[in-house]
C-alpha cells in the first residue's frame, strides 16, 4: 500500500477528507512545521507528500523549495481551503503546484493522487472493492493506528474510538468483522456487543475481542453474546492475522 505523509497545520475538515484517502492509502499526519518534518520524511520514506497551504503561508517560497530539495523524487501536492490558496498564490514564486482543495471532490482527489503516483485509479478501486472490511473499535489512538498498519494491506480497515462512533459507521457500511476492545468509557465492549446482537442487521456479525481484560467473570459474561474470539493484548501480527482469517472463513 502506498504511503502518504501530510505535513503542517491540518484542520478537522482536512482530517475528515483524508479519511477517504485512507481507504486506498496509508495516511500519516505530521502537524509540525516543514523544517521539523525532514526527519520523519527520511524515516517514513513516503510515496507522496501533502503539504498544508496554511503552513506554507508562513514562508511560501523558501519552505517549499527546501522541502523539494530534501525530498527530490517524491511528488508533492498542497492541501487547504480555497481562501488559503488564493493568499498563497499571491505570495508564491516557483513552479505551479497541484492542489487538493478542502473539502474536496473525492473522485477528483483520488484521481490526482493516483496520477502523481502513476497508478490506475480504476484498478485501485477494484482492488479495494474486493477486500473485506474490518471495523476496529478501541478508545486508544495508538492501538487504532497499529491495527490499521497491520491490516491495511489485506483488508479495508475502518476505525472507531467509541461504541457510538462504531454504530454510526455501521449504518453506512456493515463490516465483515469487528475487532472490539472491552475496557472503554461510556459504552464498554460488552455493551457494544449486546447492542450488535440486539440489532437485526448486525445480529450475526462476527466479533472478536482484542483486549487486555483478563478477568474471568468478564470473559464468562460474554459467552451468551457469541463472540467469535477473545485475544489478549499485546498480540503479535501473526496471531491476529491467523485469527481473522479463521473467523472470516
pLDDT, tens digit, for every residue of 114-173?
999 999 999 999 988 889 999 999 999 999 989 988 998 899 999 999 999 999 999 989
Residue 64 or 195, more confident: 195
- pLDDT band per the 50, 70, 90 thresholds, residue 15: confident
Cell of 88: 498563497
Residue listed under C-alpha cell 501536492: 77
pLDDT tens figures, 45-84: 899 999 999 888 877 677 788 888 888 889 999 999 999 9
The predicted pLDDT at position 151 comes to 92
Cβ contact 183:189 at 8 Å = yes
pTM > 0.75? no
Q: Is 158 helix (H, G, I), strand (E, B) or coil?
A: strand
Q: Which domains does the chain have, with CATH numbers?
A: 3-123 (3.40.50.2300), 131-248 (3.40.50.2300)
Angle between helices 106-117 and 12-21 (to 10 degrees): 60
Angle between helices 121-130 and 106-117 (to 10 degrees): 110
- Cis peptide bond upstream of 234, omega within 30: yes
Amino acid at each position: 500500500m502506498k504511503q502518504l505523509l501530510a505535513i503542517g497545520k491540518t484542520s478537522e475538515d482536512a482530517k475528515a477528507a483524508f479519511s477517504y484517502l485512507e481507504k486506498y492509502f496509508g495516511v500519516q499526519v505530521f502537524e509540525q512545521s516543514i523544517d521539523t518534518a525532514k526527519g520523519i520524511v527520511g524515516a517514513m520514506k513516503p510515496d507522496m507528500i501533502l503539504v498544508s497551504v496554511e503552513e506554507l503561508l508562513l514562508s511560501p517560497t523558501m519552505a517549499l523549495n527546501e522541502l523539494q530539495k530534501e525530498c527530490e523524487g517524491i511528488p508533492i501536492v498542497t492541501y487547504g481551503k480555497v481562501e488559503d490558496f488564493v493568499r498563497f498564490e499571491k505570495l508564491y514564486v516557483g513552479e505551479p503546484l497541484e492542489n487538493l482543495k478542502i473539502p474536496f471532490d473525492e473522485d477528483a482527489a483520488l484521481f490526482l493522487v493516483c496520477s502523481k503516483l502513476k497508478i490506475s485509479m480504476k484498478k485501485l478501486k477494484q482492488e479495494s472493492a474486493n477486500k473485506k472490511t474490518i471495523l476496529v473499535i478501541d478508545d486508544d489512538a495508538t492501538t487504532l493506528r497499529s491495527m490499521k498498519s497491520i491490516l491495511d494491506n489485506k483488508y479495508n480497515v475502518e476505525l472507531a474510538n467509541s461504541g457510538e462512533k462504531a454504530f454510526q459507521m455501521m449504518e453506512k457500511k456493515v463490516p465483515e468483522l469487528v475487532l472490539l476492545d472491552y475496557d472503554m468509557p461510556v459504552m464498554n465492549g460488552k455493551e457494544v456487543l449486546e447492542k450488535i446482537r440486539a440489532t437485526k442487521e448486525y445480529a450475526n456479525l462476527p466479533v472478536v475481542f482484542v483486549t487486555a481484560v483478563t478477568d474471568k467473570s468478564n470473559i464468562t459474561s460474554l459467552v451468551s453474546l457469541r463472540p467469535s474470539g477473545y485475544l489478549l493484548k499485546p498480540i503479535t501480527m501473526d496471531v491476529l492475522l491467523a485469527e481473522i482469517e479463521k473467523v472470516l472463513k
